[in-house]
Structure 1
Amino acid sequence: MSSSDPPPESGPTVPAVLTWGTWIAVVLVAAQLVLGILMLNGSWSLIDAHAGLGYAATLAAAVAAVSAIVWKRRGGATGVMAHAVSMPILMIIQIGLGSAGIKWVHVVLGVLILLGLIGLPMSLRSASRKSA
């Protein structure tokens, strides 16, 4: 093993698309939270913007999830991959709840999704340190 080879326990570097996709989803869902709070206070005219951000965030999370699957196949962390894949699945369920008008379950799940998305970059950072 040469000095430039990584130690055997380290995995591949976290792909930039996984990191960026995750952060884009975090920012979009945080903006959705703000719009959602305004909507709960009577500003229902924001519903189209809230929904649009939801679709865009789901797309960003799905791109990150696909990247996480590819990264896992190259030796990336299984737990991080599962976390990344679970986010767009929950977000699709979230879209269905919102469309069905199941307001409070939609609100609670939205907060949990935001927390899960915030946790994902922390997991990526930890995986990056292990691969360095």
Structure 2
Amino acid sequence: MTASDSPHASDRPSAPHLAPGSGPTIPPVLTWASWVAVVLVLGQLVLGILMLNGSWNLIEAHAGLGYAATLAAVLAAISAVVWRRRGGRSGVMAHAISMPILMIIQIGLGESGIKWVHVVLGVIILIGLIGLPMSLRSRRH
């Protein structure tokens, strides 16, 4: 019997041990996609304010940023699910999944012309998106 055939656990290489309460490393794509979504929605906010002041010719740019931000949020949500399966925090995963869901609802409101609900939900989404990468920062410690 060789050492590689040994049934003793002490003979096997051990996996790296993590400190209690720590989890797997946060995937960089989760952090970056979250911040990209924040920046794009901030751009939407600026365009939205200009549109509310009469610059309706910006609506296509506003919508384009919304679609791009939603794609970034979907990427963040997918990476959060993968991270959760490796032992990441379920609350962060739920937060990440909720963002693109709200953003899809937001797109529907915008397309339907329900202006003030669209505006209010947009502000809520922005706050939620800012909170996502910030919650990742607090999880690193």
Shorter-chain TM-score bucket reads over 0.9
Q: Which AA in structure 1 matches 2:103?
A: M
C-alpha separation between the residues in 2 aligned to 1:9 and 1:19? 20
1:107 — aligned with what? Answer: 119
1:62 — aligned with what? Answer: 74
2:46 — aligned with what? Answer: 34
- Verify: 1:88 aligned to 2:136, yes or no: no
Q: Which AA in structure 2 matches 1:7?
A: A
State the Cα distance separating 1:128 from its structure 2 match. 1.5
- With the length of structure 2 as denominator, give the TM-score of the two structures: 0.88
- Verify: 1:22 aligned to 2:16, yes or no: no
Choose the corresponding residue for 1:76, options 75, 88, 101: 88
User: Secondary structure at the residue paired with 2:44?
Assistant: helix
Question: Which structure would you say has the larger Rg?
Answer: 2
C-alpha separation between the residues in 1 aligned to 2:63 and 2:22? 40
User: Secondary structure at the residue paired with 2:140?
Assistant: helix
1:36-57, CA deviations, whole angstroms, 9 ceiling, x for partnerless residues? Answer: 0000000000000000000000
Q: More displaced, 29-38 or 120-129?
A: 120-129
1:13-65, CA deviations, whole angstroms, 9 ceiling, x for partnerless residues? Answer: 11000000000000000000000000000000000000000000000000000
4+ runs of 1 displaced by more than 3 Å?
none
State the Cα distance separating 1:109 from its structure 2 match. 0.1
Percent sequence identity is 77
C-alpha separation between the residues in 2 aligned to 1:103 and 1:16? 35
- With the length of structure 1 as denominator, give the TM-score of the two structures: 0.94
State the Cα distance separating 1:9 from its structure 2 match. 2.4
C-alpha separation between the residues in 2 aligned to 1:128 and 1:54? 29
C-alpha separation between the residues in 2 aligned to 1:102 and 1:69? 32
Which stretches in structure 1 are left out of the alignment for 5+ residues?
A: none
State the Cα distance separating 1:122 from its structure 2 match. 1.1
Matched length: 127
